[in-house]
Amino acid sequence: DTAALEAAIIADRKAGMLPAGIIACVGGTSTGGTDDIATVAQVARRYGLYLHVDAAWAGSAMICPEYRHFWSGVEGADSIVFNPHKWLGAQFDCSIQFLRDPSSHVRTLAIK
């Protein structure tokens, strides 16, 4: 419910809190639930928030043309993760993450 998402962002900001970002889901592990990524991406852009797409469970299905509609709007994400070990027979715990700007993650994980 992106209206509720936007209302929560506004309420948090009015209360002096700064949301760190938004996580949209493509195929939640328990229910298979999927967010409307395109609409969530619009909200993220409107408020200057980082958007991560969690497709850990169902992301591997996107290799099939009949499921690609679930990716609609994914180009608006800052990062995406999916786990080939869940559907593609890869070794446990194989995860893949795509980053729009990997330099921010490299800086965060750097040892100085």
* Amino acid 15: pLDDT: 98
d(CA 42, CA 17): 21
The pTM (predicted TM-score) of the whole model is: 0.86
Ramachandran quadrant class, 21 (left: phi over 0; alpha: psi -120 to 50; beta: rest): left
Q: What domains, with CATH codes, occur in the chain?
A: 2-109 (3.40.640.10)
Q: Within 13 A of 82's CA, how many CA atoms are on the CB side?
A: 17
Q: Check residue 15 and report its DSSP letter.
A: T
Strands lying side by side in the sheet with 96-99: 21-25, 50-54, 79-82, 96-99
Residue 79, pLDDT score: 95
pLDDT tens per residue, range 46-74: 999 999 999 888 888 888 899 888 888 99
pLDDT, average across residues 71-85: 90
Residue 5 belongs to what H/E stretch?
helix 2-14
